[in-house]
Every structure is written in structure tokens, then in C-alpha cells.
Amino acid sequence: MKEKVNFAMNRWNLTGGKAIYENVNKAVYSAWSAEYGSVILKINQDTLQLNEEYEMLKALNGNGCCKVFAYDAERGMLLEERLLPGTVLRAERVLSKRIQAFKSVYDKIHMEASRFEAGKATKVQSYLDWLESACHFCTNNGIDKNLTEKAKHAKDICAEMFEKYPERVLLHGDLHHDNILLRGDGTYAMIDPKAVIGPKLLDVPRFVMNEIDTKHIVSDEEHMREVIRMVSESLGFSREDVAKIYFMEVILGNIWCVEDGEDMNAEEIELASKLE
């Protein structure tokens, strides 16, 4: 990985490289570019995922997101704008302001899926693909029966939303508090898109899900009920649908944890089940 980082630093004439995240397969560095200013260098052996990120950022061209400057598809290297000051949305203490900031980004970043897919050699995954893969993992790997049943229910919810909301847009796929950053002009923008297809509604649950980790003086259940109410009113979706996709996302996230060898969060699943 160090060799790839050094290659990218030399290729794009970058200085002051500082690791933000690094392992054997993936690295994220901050650096300075004489041409672009403060930048983020990403290197990822999962070139398919990095390519989808590049394509989405390129198509949006800085509208609600960081700008992308350069890309090496063969080597899995991406150079993009570093948002400054880059304060994460999580740092905002007021729930209504967090929702307002989320909405300001959410309203800008969705393009028609057909426009994004035009000319692409590979199929872009849908959110329903994600849920179907999660169910397949559970049923074929002897996963806890209760989680497997909830996975099937989560998939049914996703299918229901695909039928209820016929629009197909390019979604961020992970639009939560740490992927929405403050710009110098006081606006917020997103980073790290996963580029997945589905109805616009499905870019909401990751934000809702991550609200559980924010500071609140009421109980988790009371806070999450209020989050669901406020998000539904702000975005114009029913409380029932927001609660359903919150449950869906909690189950999906916990299955991904199990896939990665981590324990599922039983309390989180119980709360989401209660509110669904």
C-alpha cells in the first residue's frame, strides 16, 4: 500500500501526505495539491466500488458533494476535494438543524438511474439487491434464526418500497452524520457515496439509524420516535414508511456486521422492531 501511495503522490504532485485511514487493501490520505489545493487521496483494491464513487461524484460535479479531480481506474486511485473545515454533521447538537442539513444535501444529490447507467458495461446494484444478498447470506450460513426471519421481513419492506415509490434514482447508500461535512461557506456536502439504485426514500434510513448515536437527554426510544416524526414531516414521507425503512436498515447493518465477524446489536434490533 505504501508503494501505491507514493506512486499517487508523485503522479499528481502531492505534498504533505497524512494518513487518515490505512490497511492492506485501502488507504485514505489528506494532502496538498499545487493545482487543486487541499485534497483527499483514496486508494482501494475494490476498484468496482471506487469506480462507482468516482462516477457519481463526477456526474454531480460538486452539487451537494465534494468535487473529484483525478482518477486512475487501473490502479484504484482517486483524487478528490477535501471539504474544509469538514466538521461532521454529528457535531451539530440540535436535531432540527441536523435534519435541515441532511435535507439540504439529500435534495441535491439524486439523479435518474437511467442517466447514470447509460453506457456502463456493468450493472449497478440496487438496494433490493443488497437486501436479497443479506437474506442469501443468512439462509446459507446458519445465521441466528431470529435474525434470518427479520432479514426476510426487511427484504419484504424494501420490495414494498420499490413498488410504492416507482422512481429510480442513484442513491448515496450511506448518507449518515459522518458522511455529511461542513463547507467553508456554511453549507453541507456529502462524501463517500456507495452509488446504489432505488427510490429516493431509501437514502433516508442510514441517517435515521445513526441518530441513535447522537447525544439526547430522553430515552433512546423517545428520541428515535421524535426523529422518525421530524424526518417524515421534513421530507414528506409517512411516519409508517420511515419507521419501516429504519427497521430495514438496522437489520441490514447488523447482517453486514455478522458478515464481518462482529456481533449483532440485539438492543438496536429490539428498538427498531418496536418502532416498526
Digit-coded pLDDT (tens) for 19-39: 999 988 899 999 999 999 999
Mean pLDDT for 64-81 is 96
Provide, for the chain, the percentages of residues in helix, strand and coil under a 3-state DSSP scheme, each rounded to the nearest 5.
50, 20, 30
At residue 115, the pLDDT reads 87
Give residue 116's pLDDT band: very low, low, confident or very high (50, 70, 90): confident
Q: Please state, for a pLDDT cut of 70, what percent of the chain lies above it.
A: 100
- Burial label, 176 (beta-carbon count in 10 A; 0-12, 13-18, 19+): buried
Q: What is the pLDDT of residues 146-156, one digit of tens each?
A: 999 999 999 99
Tens-digit pLDDT profile for residues 187-242: 999 999 999 999 999 999 999 999 999 999 999 999 999 999 999 999 999 999 99
Q: Closest Cα to residue 246, out of 207, 214, 219?
A: 207
Would you give the DSSP letter of residue 186?
S
Report the alpha-carbon distance of residue 96 to residue 123 in Å, rounded: 37
What's the mean per-residue pLDDT of the chain? 96
What kind of fold does domain 88-275 have according to CATH?
A: Aminoglycoside 3'-phosphotransferase; Chain: A, domain 2 (3.90.1200)
Please state which CATH number belongs to domain 2-82.
Answer: 3.30.200.20
Q: Tell me which amino acid residue 14 is.
A: L
- Measured in residues, the chain has a length of 276
Q: How far apart are CA 160 and CA 102, in angstroms?
A: 24
Which residue spans of the chain are classified as CATH 3.90.1200.10?
88-275
Residue 242 has phi, psi (to 5 degrees) of -65, -40
In this prediction, residue 165 carries a pLDDT of: 98
- 210 and 176 Cβ atoms separated by less than 8 Å: yes
How far is Cα 276 from Cα 266, in angstroms, rounded to an integer? 15
User: What is the end-to-end Cα distance of the chain in Å, rounded?
Assistant: 44
Outline which parts of the chain fall under CATH 3.30.200.20.
Answer: 2-82
